[in-house]
Amino acid sequence: MSHGTDKNSSSTAIVTNGMTTEQLVQAMPQLVAELPERTGPTLGDMLRNWAEKWLKAWNSHDVDAVTAVVTDDIVYEDPSMFGQHIIGKPDFGAFLQMFWRAFPMLFRDPGSPYLALLGTGVAVPYRVTGTFTGDLYGPSPLTLAPTGRRADITGVDLYEFRDGLLSHWISVIDGLALAQQLGLAPPARSTMFRLAMRMQRLAAPAMRRMH
């Protein structure tokens, strides 16, 4: 996705698959009409076969089985995990091992998927549950220490496929709610939360001057 600015507008036009937002809106009737022909039974069979392997491998924490259904250049993005991007099977497999050590009883339950009108994208709402019992590595040498807290939260996975394999995965979740459930952030309306709000207000004037 790229951005381009219309000289006659103060807003920024978002370009998706070669179309601006306005062009995409106008093309929706045609895109919807073409969806059955574009997807067809082949896509349905591919998604079913892939999903069966993916869910079995994920919920059994089988790294080899998970990496068998992704491309060699898999890209994984998770804004709740410090915004890190993981690229390639080796790093993806290492991430899964670390993540499942931190959450050894992690389970994922998907909801009804949504097909993209363009490209090979599929959006899948999900519920994930797990208990934080092992070190969780971040983008620095330091780690997050386990709290023993349990998380039960919903999110949305965005999948892109190539040749029947997952090539790009973005997992979107409420990072603040997850951090609060795991004891990594103070609960709303708690003393620590109110203190953090006051500190933000004290720091805001200096931040405005910097910009």
Domain count, the chain: 1
- Domain holding 39, by residue range, is 21-173
Q: Where are the beta strands (DSSP E) in the chain?
A: 2-5, 12-16, 19-20, 70-77, 85-87, 107-110, 114-115, 122-131, 136-137, 143-144, 150-162, 165-173
Residue 14 lies in a domain: no
Strand partners, 47: none
CATH of the domain at 136: 3.10.450.50
Residue 72 lies in a domain: yes
Residue 114 lies in a domain: yes
Residue 190 lies in a domain: no
Residue 184 lies in a domain: no
Q: CA 99, 124, 119 angle in degrees (round to 5)?
A: 110
> pLDDT tens digits, residue range 41-97?
788 888 999 999 999 999 999 999 999 999 999 999 987 776 678 999 999 999 999
Residue 191 lies in a domain: no
Q: How confident is the model at residue 147 (pLDDT cuts 50, 70, 90)?
A: very high
pLDDT at 38 over 80: no
| Residues 184, 147 contacting (CB under 8 angstroms) | yes
- Alpha carbons 122 and 112: distance in angstroms, whole number: 10
Q: Model pTM?
A: 0.79
| Average pLDDT of span 135-145 | 76
Residue 41 lies in a domain: yes
- Alpha carbons 83 and 77: distance in angstroms, whole number: 7
- Alpha carbons 111 and 46: distance in angstroms, whole number: 18
Residue 210 lies in a domain: no
pLDDT at 8 (0 to 100): 44
